[in-house]
Chains A and B, each alone.
Chain A
Amino acid sequence: MTNKYYEFFCPVKVIAGKAALEHMPYELAGLAAKRPMIITDKGVRAAGLLEPVIAACEESGLEIVTIYDDVPPDSSTSVVRDIAGVYRSEKCDSIIAIGGGSAIDTGKAVNILVSEGGDDIAKYSGAGILKHPLKPFFVVPTTAGTGSEVTAVAVITDEAKGVKLPFTSSFLLPNAAVIDPRMTLTLPPHITAATAMDALTHATEAFTCMAKNPLSDAYATAAVKKVSQSLLAVMDNPKDTDGRLELAQASTMAGIAFSNSMVGLVHSLGHATGAVCHLPHGLCMSLYLPYVLEFNLESIREPLGELLLYLEGPEVYATTPASRRAEASISAIRKLRDQLYKRCQLPRTLKETGKVEESQLDHIAEVALDDGSIMFNPREVSLEDARAVLRRAWS
């Protein structure tokens, strides 16, 4: 008998497609929510993305009680405390987070405070601390990449102590994720590219790392297919609503996949690079993905070869000998990166970013070795291994 065992959990209602936003009043009413608060950032507001949400709610007689639009790119414990204060003084009863990873994580953390009480979010840091469901919580992603709308994790910086606090609980999962193509239509090209590569990395790592399982696999392969088929079309025609929806769905599906099967070394290196050099997460994913797949190659030959079907389609898959498919998958990802470089100069190497010094590589390697996701990488990674991958990704 095999030792294989897995768990899979995703209770988030996905509300996706044309006029999805207009379903929110009905869904909120179903949870007895009458006084929602919007948590978002300045960029979302400036892009005019709040208007369709507010209009959709008000037309149904649901008043948005208050809007907090000052979430910083790296959300902190004091921001969370401030927002919880506003929520309480305005007597809100539910939260709508609109934005990318930071706004969504902030929404999750605020929901802990306003549901559990108190001002000190650090108290709830860790895994499994929460024991009760929280307030009604909706997420409207405005980037197609992080998948945070379906993950049970939030990370908030404690500025006083200078550490990142992780929060893990299935109660952090929103009641609903609202995927409306209008929300990603104005995403600038380089962010579209970087966040889509984050989604592709989530799916690829979910499919090749140690906790892969049949349910996650199904979401991961579907996500890979959607990104491969739609990303370049959207880059060439940013107003392609169907393509935008495909990418947004791919991001959610990849999020469901990796939140159940975890990620590996691409993310360990990416988190470390983000911490040391402040490079955007999606860009880091794009930088490291092919080099890490090369490093893992002999441990993941079979699943990686299978991905060729979703990366390149049935014809290429059928004409590539089984023994060459894993390498062909890596080439397909390299080809995609070259195309993105051509269209929006998305860097392919650390050197091309112009923001990383070669002398920082050793430090990045050390930080990466402490990252939780390295535990699920299919190959054991030593400090020397991490350095070698970084040197390959340098130029």
Chain B
Amino acid sequence: MLAKRIQPMIFHARRLYVELMFQVMGRALQAVSEVDSEVKEEAQVLPEGFLFEMMVMPNGPSMIVEHTGLGRFRYHGDNAPRPVDLSIQFKHIAHAFLVLSFQEKTSVAFANDRMLVDGDVSYAVRMTRVLNRLESFILPKLVAERAVKEYPQNLHLPEKLVSAARIYLKVATNFVETVRP
């Protein structure tokens, strides 16, 4: 582990950031699925009890949400109650960091072979659209435009939820700025 001895802070900070952003996303997914009709509509097609995971290969941070029916998601932290149905896997924590720090759009990361899909591709397509919508919710418009292919015209979400999610985001960003070498 030569690299770890040279740049311990960067590695540690990056990993913490990815872990924190997974938590932000998991909670936000659950929140958004309770209020946003478009996310609900996309999610409704998923089977009840469908487990979706995003993780970093080989055994890095992960986020698991379950479709509990009627388009609702429940966040499970990084513990899957049973084998997941669909997994989106980043090949390296550096690639997860690029996406979760909004330097690379999710769709671009797919195009750039940064991540793999394990499971039904049609569900992966659906979850990517959900994630795009989520990103446009929790990010300020300027950042969101960079993170998703197209910024949606019809974002109507209770201000409370938006600000709550943005607080998470702020915590995460401040965090990464503080520890960034």
Contacts and interface: CB of A to CB of B under 8 A. Distances in A.
Interface in B89-126: 98, 103-104, 107-108, 110-114, 116-119, 121-122, 124-126
A189 interface: no
A380 B118 CA distance: 23
Contact of A262 (B111, B119, B124, B126): B111
Nearest to B151: A380
A253 interface: no
Interface in A92-127: 126-127
A182 interface: no
A375 B143 CA distance: 21
A369 B115 CA distance: 21
A370 B126 contact: yes
B19 to A, nearest CB: 23
Give the interface size class of chain A.
20 to 34
Contact of B103 (A3, A127, A210, A371): A3
Interface string A347-378: 00000000000000000000001111011101
A380 B125 contact: no
B108 A380 contact: no
Contacts of A380: 129, 132, 148-150
A7 interface: yes
B149 A379 contact: yes
Contacts, number: 56
B125 A372 contact: yes
Contacts of A43: none
Interface string A1-19: 0011111000000000000
A127 B148 contact: no
B128 A3 contact: no
Nearest to A378: B149
A211 B111 contact: yes
Nearest to A383: B41
A373 B113 CA distance: 14
B150 A5 contact: no
Contacts of B110: 210, 375-376
A331 B150 CA distance: 27
Given A372-B125, A380-B132, A5 B148 contact: no
Given A3-B103, A210-B107, A372 B124 contact: yes
A210 B103 CA distance: 16
B112 A6 contact: yes
11 contacts: A6-B112, A127-B116, A127-B117, A211-B112, A370-B122, A375-B107, A375-B110, A375-B111, A376-B111, A379-B149, A380-B129
Given A126-B119, A380-B129, 18 more contacts: A3-B98, A3-B108, A4-B112, A5-B113, A6-B113, A127-B116, A127-B117, A127-B118, A128-B116, A211-B113, A370-B122, A372-B125, A374-B125, A375-B111, A376-B110, A376-B111, A379-B149, A380-B148
Interface of B: 98, 103-104, 107-108, 110-114, 116-119, 121-122, 124-126, 128-129, 132, 148-150
